[in-house]
């Protein structure tokens, strides 16, 4: 069983093409990345534009967000992301979401039903609480 982290994209990005892990430059993303890299067997970014993205994938900056998408668009996004998750993981893996509700809404339940263990430690926390939690749990 692998421990797989899924981190949501953020709006603060570099202005030019970069490896996905380096494109997102907010303090939240940097803390989430540092936290994840100490714990994960594998990790990916949940990008509103590109779907499931490997940290080393070269991508262009963008402005798309799931919060601005209609439900039908979010369902299509989630279907594409599910296909990618299934081809990059094994049923039974432990999946940890460091992502907001919109990024989890059509993924977490489906993964659980398929036999993955799913966790969302930041659920129901505001951004300040999340930053604090990530900082306190960085070891």
Question: Tell me, what CATH number does 85's domain have?
Answer: 3.40.50
Cβ atoms within 10 Å, residue 91: 10
pLDDT in tens, 80-106: 999 999 999 999 999 999 999 999 999
Total domain count, the chain? 1
Q: Residue 138 pLDDT more than 80?
A: no
Q: Cα separations (Å) of 2 from 27, 40, 94, 102?
A: 27, 8, 6, 24
- Nearest CA to 51 out of 90, 84, 5 is that of 84
pLDDT in tens, 106-130: 999 999 999 999 999 999 999 999 9
- Tell me which residue range forms the domain holding 82: 3-136
């Amino acid at each position: 069983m692998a421990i797989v982290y899924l981190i949501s994209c953020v709006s603060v990005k570099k202005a030019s093409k970069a490896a996905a892990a380096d494109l997102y430059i907010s303090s939240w993303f940097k803390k989430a990345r540092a936290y994840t890299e100490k714990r994960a067997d594998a990790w990916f970014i949940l990008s509103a534009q590109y779907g499931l993205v490997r940290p080393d994938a070269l991508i262009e900056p963008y402005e798309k967000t799931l919060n601005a998408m209609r439900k039908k668009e979010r369902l299509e996004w989630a279907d594409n992301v599910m296909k990618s998750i299934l081809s990059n993981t094994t049923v039974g893996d432990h999946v940890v979401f460091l992502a907001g509700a919109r990024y989890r809404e059509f993924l977490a339940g489906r993964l659980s039903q398929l036999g993955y263990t799913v966790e969302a430690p930041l659920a129901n926390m505001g951004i300040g609480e999340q930053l604090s939690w990530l900082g306190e749990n960085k070891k």
